[in-house]
């Protein structure tokens, strides 16, 4: 019992102590302790040495056994008061066994198990009396454990139990009472066992390492809870720094006391290289006891140093010691040569890996809390990071990976305090290895690239790199170098895509996707304006007012970046010619116009990229200005509280010391003066500083020049520097320290620039640490995209090129998807920041991968190949996704997108209603996802009714189809693979949402929309080969898209209209035969007008004027589509008649309607449209009145329709008179008399056009038409009293209308046969009645004319003429009877009105009766009796008239009908 086997011990250690969920009863505890006592005694009695002794033996019982027996007597008396019992009482016997060198391994092992059991059961806790002392005793006993080794196995078991107990101590609830000293002892002992286990079994090795790791985790997990104890650290010294963990300062190794085993004592082989550097802890014998010197040495050192803090409860002091020790394990790298082909880890990499793993654990647990404790932070800034730089260049990929993990953790937690350290690691390690600049292996490159990608995935990494380094004039361009490296590494060079290429691609895409995600935040990045400095202002040491507030630091870093760009150009000029370089800087106002030594010194001091050789030559020159610059340059350094060798290292790091002795002297004189000025503690004057500086440079050359065989000793160096301090000697310790510093760390005379291929030396690291204390604060970037615009400017081009190359070479779906994600992220950023060129390049690149731009292909074969090509399908979806999401920023890329769409159309893969606009969406049927047929069987979206229909062609067409079907061979059925491939192709197009590009085009920015239209116009306007169906289909499809875009962008039609109209005009005017293209052009134009007229009143005339293109159609084309055109015009007029106001617009509309009057199919629709306009005067306007009259007359005269339509046309003309009367009433509302007169004149003119038009129809060949026309004409004459027709106009009516009509009728009756003009007699009768009716109607007005006599004479003449007319060779009795009657009525009215009175001397009287006698001689007596004639003559003689003037009597019953 109590002796655990190896596996049990390991399991207990690995699982760790388990917290009991209940507290054991006091009796149970006593029983447990009693059982452990029995177990130890049982094992001891198995050994002869501890066998049974009899009472008569001279020797007393061994004190170890006696102590157990004494304890056994007491334990059951404590059963009710265990927590008030000092645990030392029941632990002491077990601890004595552990510390005894007389016990063997089995006994020691059981005792250790007993202690472990007591620790893991709730016997000891924070409430236990004297628990701190008990824990200290346990630690002291276990760390100084002694035992006799009987066999290797038992020894390993004991060692594992030691580890088990020590870990249990740290995990115990009362572990908070452990002191810093004891915690260090615990860790130290574990490390010793780790080292000793290297010669033991695998189980012990793994257990020791695991325990050490758990101890470190347990200790550093409390760092977050510990307050800043800087006061304790300042007062304390490193506890047992030389004795337990730290490296000793002297060369004396403490003698190690060895245990005894079966083979006697043995010394450790000491092969582990780190023991030389960590000689503070003694080795454990391979088969012996843990040395007891630990306890003695530890207590002695603490007592001597008086470091009371190390005896306090453990906290930061022990963590400092442990962390320092872990860092010191890595110091071995300093003495190992590292070269491009050498392996810097010449020994087993297991040792540094173990140390690095522990360091990583501490940083993971401590996190940002390291920054709260200055000594821990200093260790990371100086010791740790230097070693990480060294191990980062290790040839071991595993070590490099661990180092990168540590740096990633440090970046995450402490980046604000590690600015320059991080810059050095990135530029000198990761970027160098990943770029294969260190002779690194492929595995190293892969590890470094993985690390860089991990960093790129950090949300704020890229912005912080750019802000802190690329925008700092004293730092390298880490972001730009990283972007260039990733883009370059993503290119597969003469080989298939490797893992390195994929990693680089992942890094680029991670950077891009990070930017895309940041764009979703409220903050926005803005374009950086170019900085033009009007005058020089010192900027070298300018700092931002607030590095935490973006409103302050963002403009600041923008400004510094612009300055840095110009500085880099100036540095390049300087490296080629220093004078020209300085002149350039003056020209851009980065140096003052006048010679200013301080500004030039700052240029040398803070500008990166300068040739350090040229800087050294300039500073060492004897020129007065150069000397002034040198002095200012030296003053820029801060050497306070700095050793001379450190100051010299920092000074010489900034330039290369010239080779000439005079130049060297001038440089060192300036340095010595500055150093003495700031550090006058030891040196009495600047000459002493100068001499000692010379001496150090000589010592450096002596110690580190391979050609010097005999090296200078310390005594030589001290002797050489006698009496240089004002005639006195310098302190020996001071010189000794300088000597060892130079010997151990060379002062590199070649600065970093010249030593770029080498590792970071200690000398350079000292300079970096010094600069880090003076560098600007680290800028912490939040989630805002403050600098993304600038970064994307650098990143966009290389990234697009890299992704394109990878996409071209790779076949794996996962990598392809990664590339597509990168494309989409690039597109998002490009669109957001208006990088139109980048977006166009991206679109062009993607279009190339769709394979849709190939010049020739077979439709079905291509569709199947497209369905099987995942890359092409992914690229297609990506292209159209970008077009839909970010079309606003696409410019020239539309050309390629349109080409892809046209290819898809040729293949028949596009939706049937791709070109649908928003209004058409309401009409979509359930089959809207139907696919367009391929170009081999072209169709258009125009309904079949729009095609010219001919009965004969339909019959022949059906017959031809029957013949074709009879001879056609059945097509082979596609295979399942082909069906699947085609389905994939269709699904790809469906996922692409090509139709959305045009349906949503109304949301595109104006410039992008113009570019899209230009691309379509370019594609549509290509020369077409004769009889090439594909070319025509493409042109039709482009025209469809143009029309759809135009309709969808009615609110900005002027942006597109000119180009679209010119294209349609070109199609219309260049086509001489009916075809689908001209059909689409004509009806597309009509459709545009229909849609836009209701919304664009200001464009009504222009839109309607465009319809004149239809009038210019070739006759054959116009005839083929006339009916459909008329239907569309009818729809346009019915929907938009209220919007058409101008004469120009109506002229176009009416012209189109007039053409249809004589077209068999179109006339009906044309007349319906005209009726819609003219009926009830609904849409008659002064602007269209005459036009509509002419059109109505043409329909009336047309013989295409039936007579009824002509009659209805005349009725429309007659109905228009109501509009004239209505308008005439409105003249009274006109403002001003002149305007009223003008309106009246216009109305009279329109009335005149009306009656003239009717007069022309009055001679129509058809009896019904001409008779109805005469009646309508009579109505138009007799219904205009309210219009106050002027006298002159009445006279014109007789001359131009009535008399002309009578002449024409006579002529027709004489020259044409009765068959052509049937029943002319009735027409003449109506015309004569019209003559008399109108004459009498206007008699009063006409009588006032001076030409009335002539007019009356002509009226009588026409009556006389018609009396003599012969129809069919015979006199018409009806006319012969009608004329005298009409004349009689006329004379009677003239008589009653006083116009016709007896007067032989009156010419009018004579004229009248001379003509009347020729017509009807007896009429005079019928009109005037003899008595009336006498009475009238007498009255006339007296000068009076019996009839009142102005009374014209017309019997109401009189009519001409």
Q: Helix (H, G, I), strand (E, B), or coil: what is residue 584? A: helix
3-state SS of 601-632 is: HHHHHHCCCCCHHHHHHHHHCCCHHHHHHHHH
Q: Which residues pair with 725 in a beta bridge?
A: 728
Nearest in space to 470 (alpha carbons), one of 605, 575, 608, 644: 608
| Active-site pick, 127, 549, 624, 660 | 660
Angstrom CA distances, 539 to 587, 633, 962, 1342, stand at 16, 16, 90, 103
Q: Which residues pair with 243 in a beta bridge?
A: none
Nearest in space to 613 (alpha carbons), one of 579, 574, 644, 581: 574
For residue 330 the two structure tokens come to: 């890595």
Contact call for residues 275 and 283 (beta carbons, < 8 A): yes
Residue 746 sits at the vertex; the CA angle it makes with 743 and 750, to the nearest 5 degrees, is 160
* Parallel/antiparallel/unpaired status of strands 1370-1371 and 1366-1367: antiparallel
Contact call for residues 156 and 6 (beta carbons, < 8 A): yes
For residue 634 the two structure tokens come to: 């030296």
Tell me the HSE value of 633 on the side-chain side, using a 13 A CA sphere: 30
d(Cα 650, Cα 183) in Å, to the nearest integer? Answer: 39
Angstrom CA distances, 835 to 526, 573, 789, 825, 884, stand at 12, 31, 10, 13, 17
Q: Helix (H, G, I), strand (E, B), or coil: what is residue 728? A: strand
What element of type H or E holds 1036? helix 1029-1048
Q: What are phi and psi of 728, to 5 degrees?
A: -110, 165
Residues in contact with 384: Cβ distance below 8 Å, sequence separation at least 6, in sequence order: 323, 327, 330, 359
| Chain center to CA of 27 | 73
For residue 1275 the two structure tokens come to: 């109505």
d(Cα 946, Cα 218) in Å, to the nearest integer? Answer: 87
Is 36 known to be catalytic?
no
DSSP state of 671: H
DSSP 1115-1159: HHHHHHHHHHHHHHHHHHHHHHGGG--SHHHHHHHHHHHHHGGG-
Q: What is the chain's percent helix, strand, coil content, to nearest 5?
A: 65, 0, 30
DSSP state of 1367: E
Report the chain's C-alpha Rg in angstroms: 57
List b or e across 1070-1107, with b for residues whose CB sees 16 or more CB atoms inside 10 angstroms: ebeebbbbbbbbbbbbbbbbbbbbeebeebbbbbbbbb
Q: What are phi and psi of 1366, to 5 degrees?
A: -115, 130
Residue 6 sits at the vertex; the CA angle it makes with 112 and 198, to the nearest 5 degrees, is 95
Quickly count helices (H) and strands (E) in the chain: 65, 2
Question: What angle separates helix 597-606 from helix 612-620, to the nearest 10 degrees?
Answer: 150
Q: What are phi and psi of 911, to 5 degrees?
A: -60, 150
For residue 115 the two structure tokens come to: 């202690």
DSSP state of 934: P
Contact call for residues 101 and 56 (beta carbons, < 8 A): no
Q: Which residues form the catalytic set?
A: 660
């Amino acid at each position: 019992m109590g002796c655990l086997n190896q596996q049990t011990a390991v399991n207990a250690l690995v699982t760790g102590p388990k917290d009991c969920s209940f507290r054991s009863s006091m009796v149970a505890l006593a029983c447990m302790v009693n059982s452990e006592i029995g177990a130890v005694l049982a094992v001891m009695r198995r050994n002869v040495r501890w066998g049974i002794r009899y009472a008569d033996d001279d020797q007393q019982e061994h004190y170890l056994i006696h102590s157990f027996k004494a304890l056994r007597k007491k334990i059951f008396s404590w059963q009710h008061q265990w927590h008030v019992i000092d645990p030392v009482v029941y632990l002491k016997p077990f601890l004595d066994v552990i510390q005894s060198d007389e016990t063997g391994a089995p006994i020691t092992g059981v005792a250790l198990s007993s202690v472990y059991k007591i620790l893991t059961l709730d016997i000891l806790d924070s409430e236990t009396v004297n628990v701190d002392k008990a824990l200290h005793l346990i630690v002291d006993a276990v760390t100084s454990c002694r035992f006799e080794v009987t066999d290797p196995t038992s020894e390993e078991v004991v060692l594992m139990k030691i580890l088990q107990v020590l870990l249990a101590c740290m995990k115990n609830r009362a572990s908070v009472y452990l002191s810093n000293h004891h915690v260090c002892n615990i860790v130290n002992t574990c490390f010793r066992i780790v080292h000793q286990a290297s010669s033991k079994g695998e189980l012990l090795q793994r257990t020791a390492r695991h325990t050490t790791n758990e101890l470190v985790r347990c200790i550093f997990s409390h760092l977050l809870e510990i307050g800043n104890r800087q006061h304790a650290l300042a007062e304390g010294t490193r506890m047992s720094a030389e004795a337990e963990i730290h490296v000793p300062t002297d060369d004396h190794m403490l003698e190690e006391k060895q245990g005894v085993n079966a083979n006697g004592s043995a010394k450790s082989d000491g092969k582990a290289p780190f023991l030389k550097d960590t000689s503070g802890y003694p080795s454990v014998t391979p088969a012996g006891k843990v040395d007891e010197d630990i306890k003695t040495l530890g207590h002695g050192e603490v007592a001597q140093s008086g470091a009371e803090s190390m005896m306090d409860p453990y906290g930061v002091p022990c963590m400092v010691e442990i962390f320092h020790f872990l860092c010191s394990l890595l110091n071995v790298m300093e003495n190992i040569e590292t070269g491009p082909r050498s392996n810097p880890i010449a020994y087993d990499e297991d040792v540094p890996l173990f140390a690095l793993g522990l360091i990583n654990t501490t940083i993971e647990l401590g996190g940002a809390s390291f920054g709260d404790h200055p000594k821990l932070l200093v260790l990371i800034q100086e010791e740790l990071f230097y070693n990480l730089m060294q191990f980062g260049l290790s040839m071991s990929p595993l070590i490099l990976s661990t180092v990168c993990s540590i740096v990633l953790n440090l970046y995450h937690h402490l980046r604000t305090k590690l600015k320059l350290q991080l810059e050095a690691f990135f530029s000198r390690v990761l970027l160098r290895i990943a770029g294969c600049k260190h002779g690194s292996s492929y595995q190293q490159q892969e590890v470094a690239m993985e690390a860089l990608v991990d960093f790129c995935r950090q949300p704020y990494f890229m912005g912080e790199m750019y802000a802190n380094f690329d925008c700092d004039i004293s730092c390298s361009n880490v972001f730009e170098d990283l972007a260039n490296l990733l883009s370059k590494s993503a290119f597969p060079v003469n080989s298939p895509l490797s893992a390195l290429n994929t990693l680089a691609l992942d890094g680029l895409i991670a950077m891009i996707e990070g930017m895309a995600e940041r764009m979703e935040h409220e903050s926005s990045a803005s374009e950086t304006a170019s900085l033009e400095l009007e005058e020089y202002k010192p900027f070298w040491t300018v700092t931002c007012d607030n590095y935490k507030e973006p409103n302050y630091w963002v403009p600041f870093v923008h400004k510094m970046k612009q300055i840095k760009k110009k500085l880099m150009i100036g540095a390049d000029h300087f490296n080629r010619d220093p004078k020209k370089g300085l002149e350039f800087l003056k020209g851009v106002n980065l140096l003052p116009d006048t010679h200013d030594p301080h500004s030039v010194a700052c240029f040398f001091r803070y500008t990166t990229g300068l040739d350090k050789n040229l800087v050294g030559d300039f500073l060492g020159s004897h020129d007065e200005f150069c000397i002034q610059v040198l002095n200012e340059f030296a003053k820029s350094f801060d050497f306070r509280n700095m050793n001379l060798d450190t100051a010299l290292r920092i000074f010489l790091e900034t330039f290369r010391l010239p080779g000439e002795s005079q130049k060297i002297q001038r440089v060192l004189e300036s340095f010595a003066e500055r150093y003495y000025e700031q550090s006058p503690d030891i040196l009495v004057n600047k000459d002493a500083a100068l001499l000692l500086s010379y001496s150090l440079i000589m010592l450096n050359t002596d110690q580190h020049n391979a050609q010097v065989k005999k090296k200078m000793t310390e005594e030589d160096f001290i002797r050489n520097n006698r009496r240089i301090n004002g005639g006195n000697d310098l302190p020996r310790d001071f010189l000794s320290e300088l000597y060892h510093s130079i010997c151990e760390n060379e002062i590199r005379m070649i600065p970093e620039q010249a030593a770029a291929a080498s590792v970071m030396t200690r000398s350079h690291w000292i300079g970096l640490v010094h600069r880090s204390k003076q560098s600007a604060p680290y800028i912490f970037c939040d989630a805002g995209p403050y600098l993304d615009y600038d970064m994307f400017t650098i990143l966009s081009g290389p990234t697009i090129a890299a992704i394109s190359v990878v996409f071209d070479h790779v076949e794996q779906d996962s990598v392809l998807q990664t590339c597509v994600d990168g494309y989409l992220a690039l597109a998002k950023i490009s669109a957001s920041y208006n990088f139109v060129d980048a977006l166009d390049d991206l679109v062009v690149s993607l279009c190339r991968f769709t394979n849709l731009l190939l010049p020739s292909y077979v439709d079905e074969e291509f569709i199947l190949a497209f369905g099987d090509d995942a890359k092409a399908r992914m690229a297609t979806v990506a292209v159209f996704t970008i077009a839909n999401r970010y079309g606003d920023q696409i410019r020239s890329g539309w050309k390629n997108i349109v080409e892809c769409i046209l290819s898809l159309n040729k293949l028949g893969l596009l939706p049937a209603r791709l070109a649908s606009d928003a209004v058409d969406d309401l009409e979509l049927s359930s089959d809207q996802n139907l696919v367009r047929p391929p170009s081999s069987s072209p169709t258009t979206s125009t309904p079949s009714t729009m095609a010219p229909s001919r009965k004969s062609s339909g019959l022949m067409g059906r017959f031809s189809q029957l013949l074709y079907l009879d001879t056609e061979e059945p097509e082979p059925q596609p295979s399942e693979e082909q069906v699947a491939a085609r389905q994939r192709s269709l699904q790809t197009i469906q996922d692409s949402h090509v139709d959305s590009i045009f349906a949503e085009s109304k949301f595109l920015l104006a410039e992008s929309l113009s570019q899209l239209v230009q691309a379509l116009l370019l594609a549509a306007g290509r020369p077409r080969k004769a009889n090439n169906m594909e070319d025509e289909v493409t042109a039709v499809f482009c025209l469809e898209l143009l029309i759809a875009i135009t309709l969808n962008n009615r609110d900005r039609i002027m942006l597109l209209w000119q180009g679209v109209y010119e294209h349609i005009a070109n199609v219309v005017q260049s086509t001489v035969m009916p075809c689908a293209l001209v059909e689409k052009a004509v009806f597309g134009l009509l459709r545009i007008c229909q849609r836009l007229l209701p919304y664009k009143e200001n464009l009504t005339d222009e839109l309607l004027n465009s319809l004149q293109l239809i009038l210019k159609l070739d006759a054959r084309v116009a005839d083929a589509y006339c009916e459909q055109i008329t239907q569309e015009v009818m729809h346009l007029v019915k929907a938009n008649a209220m919007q058409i106001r101008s004469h120009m617009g109506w002229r176009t509309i009416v012209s189109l309607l007039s053409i249809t009057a004589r077209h068999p199919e179109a006339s009906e629709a044309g007349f319906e449209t005209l009726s819609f306009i003219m009926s009830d005067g609904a849409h008659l306007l002064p602007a269209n009145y005459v036009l509509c009259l002419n059109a109505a007359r043409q329909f009336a005269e047309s013989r295409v329709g039936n007579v009824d339509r002509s009659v209805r046309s005349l009725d429309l003309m007659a109905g228009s008179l109501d509009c004239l009367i209505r308008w005439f009433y409105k003249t009274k509302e006109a403002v001003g008399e002149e305007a009223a007169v003008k309106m009246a004149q216009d109305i009279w003119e329109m009335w005149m056009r009306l009656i003239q038009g009717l007069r022309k129809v009055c001679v129509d060949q058809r009896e019904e038409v001409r008779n109805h026309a005469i009646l309508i004409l009579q109505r138009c004459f007799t219904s205009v009293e309210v219009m106050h027709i002027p006298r002159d106009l009445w006279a014109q009516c007789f001359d131009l209308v009535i008399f002309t009509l009578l002449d024409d009728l006579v002529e027709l009756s004489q020259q044409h046969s009765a068959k052509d003009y049937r029943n002319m007699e009735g027409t003449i009768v109506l015309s004569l009645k019209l003559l008399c009716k109108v004459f009498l109607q206007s008699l009063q007005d006409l009588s006032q004319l001076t030409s009335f006599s002539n007019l009356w004479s002509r009226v009588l003449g026409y009556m006389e003429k018609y009396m003599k007319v012969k129809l069919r060779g015979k006199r018409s009795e009806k006319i012969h009877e009608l004329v005298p009657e009409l004349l009689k009525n006329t004379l009677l009215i003239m008589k009653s009105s006083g116009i016709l009175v007896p007067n032989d001397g009156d010419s009018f009287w004579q004229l009248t009766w001379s003509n009347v006698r020729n017509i009807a001689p007896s009429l005079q007596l019928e009109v005037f009796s003899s008595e009336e004639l006498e009475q009238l003559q007498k009255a006339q003689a007296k000068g009076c008239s019996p009839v009142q003037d102005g009374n014209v009597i017309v019997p109401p019953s009189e009519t001409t009908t």
